[in-house]
Amino acid sequence: MPLELIGAGFTYRRDAFAALTDIDLRLARGQMHAILGAVGSGTSTLGRLITGLLGDCGTSVGRIHLEGTAVMLGDDPEAQLSGMTSLVGDEVQLSGRLHGDEVTTVERHARNTLNSLDIGDLWGRRLDTLSGGQRQLVALAGLLSLNPSLLVLDQPSLSLDPDTRQRLATVLQDFCSAGGTVLITAHQFDEVAKACDRLSILDSGRLITTDTSLSAQELERCGIWDTRCPEQHGQGLSESARPPASAPLTLSARGLSAIRDGATVVNDIDLDVASGENVTIMGSNGAGKSTLLRSLAGLLGPGSRTSGIITVDDNGTPVSLGETQAHERTRHLAWVGQDPGSQLSAATVRAELMYAVPLPSHRRRDRVAMRAQRQEAVTSAMVKTQLGTVSEIHPYDLSIDLRKDLVMTSALIMSPRIILLDEPTLGRDRRGIDRLNMFITDFLRRGGSVLATTHDGRWASETADRVLILDDGRLCEGRGGGVVPSAG
């Protein structure tokens, strides 16, 4: 067998309890197996243990037998891009070139791998112009080019739209048909997990359930978020194209366009968001969802250009953002990006909240009082977002969902009218989705507005007041899962 674990376990240094206990697992050649579990159940640790990536982080027990080579795509795929290349084609060819393989063979294999993932058109694109989902697929293509015996994927569907998840499932099945073996670990049940031959549940470091047809109720009882499409949950997408005419607007964009590296990514968009409204934008990978949010927040950066009129409400007074810089927009628009790590800089959660947002202008003699007010605001915000128990932990030691929660908590301290959430459901289990929904509900109740992007159709259908579709740079309205042209 390519992989066999007998009584395997692992305990992190300085932890009192084992992260994994008495794991028995056997994977046959050609098998695709998904192990699902809530955040903290040990799914990522299991993948790292199997692929030898835990090093001296702790103590392992039991037996692990592995035939051939194993590679792992972690829950932060972008971190696995080499940093040695600028173009997609060069990145996917890199491992073969370093191995000394024949140049034409390496290129042919790299192109075939990208084509199988339906991203062959990205060959000449710069890596820094790709969407999060596209970078994820490029990182996976690089691993597939190594021809491993065992492919371990930790949350491989992060940032991927439903069609791409289905395509990924097909590519992985083809990999298994050719003699490979795939192990998937995740907190969510989706198209990739559904395509697996076997499904197991990991709970508090123990494999407790193995089944191929667990119901939605059984999955969620184990803390797993079921992302299956709205139709399977008996719900559809919102049909409302615009907020009610009587609703006061907190955000209005007219003719918004964005150009990056000479290409128009967002094209002539009209968008209104009302006070207390939750609007969600969906669309395929690379459709421009993140670019749209960054355009509103003023965060596109060098080599990019935004045009159009963006107006926000400032206590009843319309304010045109015009050429306003990003740091000046934060009092109106708070941005929570797809990669929360890029927005964190302090050594603890509390310090991040204390210092990530500058104190308001004040006289020197009032500084002590201002800091006391900030401390009070931080404590209150941590209670609201359930971060109090991790207040002294380094942000990078948090799971991705808690890092998102931390950036969202920072946004609360800025007291914006609108929060922009880019893929807020990434890496969340059932409990993480509940925390996200509570945060949004509380923010809306206090008169704020939310504009989010997501690939999670179920979450959008259950929580959004309106669901819009971004397609080829143009905004359309979601209607029962379909797409129709928007009036804007």
Interval 435-455: pLDDT, tens: 999 999 999 998 899 999 999
Q: Which of 110-114, 130-134, 423-427 has the lowest mean pLDDT?
A: 130-134
For residues 175 and 147, the answer to whether their CB atoms sit within 8 Å is no
Q: Which of 170-184, 241-255, 363-377 has the lowest mean pLDDT?
A: 241-255
Cα–Cα distance for residue pair 470/447, rounded to 1 Å:
26
Cα–Cα distance for residue pair 111/109, rounded to 1 Å:
6
Helix axis angle for 400-414 and 430-445, nearest 10°, is 10
Residue 221 has pLDDT above 90, yes or no: no
How far apart, in Å, are the Cα atoms of 363 and each of 331, 359, 376? 20, 11, 19
Q: How many CA atoms lie less than 13 Å away from 276 in the CB half-sphere? A: 7
- Strand extents, DSSP E, 126-193: 150-154, 181-186, 188-189
Residue 238 has pLDDT above 60, yes or no: no
Cα–Cα distance for residue pair 280/455, rounded to 1 Å:
10
Helix (H, G, I), strand (E, B) or coil at 393: coil
Residue 111 has pLDDT above 80, yes or no: yes
Specify burial of residue 332 (Cβ count, 10 A radius: 0-12, 13-18, 19+).
buried
For residues 409 and 353, the answer to whether their CB atoms sit within 8 Å is yes
According to the model, what pLDDT value does residue 239 have? 44
Q: Which of 4-13, 121-130, 232-241 has the lowest mean pLDDT?
A: 232-241
How far apart, in Å, are the Cα atoms of 277 and each of 103, 226, 351, 468, 479? 54, 25, 31, 13, 18
Residue with tokens 């989706």: 190
For residues 192 and 169, the answer to whether their CB atoms sit within 8 Å is yes
Q: What is the mean pLDDT of residues 351-358?
A: 87
According to the model, what pLDDT value does residue 233 have? 41
- Structural domains in the chain, CATH included, are 3-229 (3.40.50.300), 249-485 (3.40.50.300)
Cα–Cα distance for residue pair 379/35, rounded to 1 Å:
37
Helices then strands, each counted (H, E), the chain: 14, 22
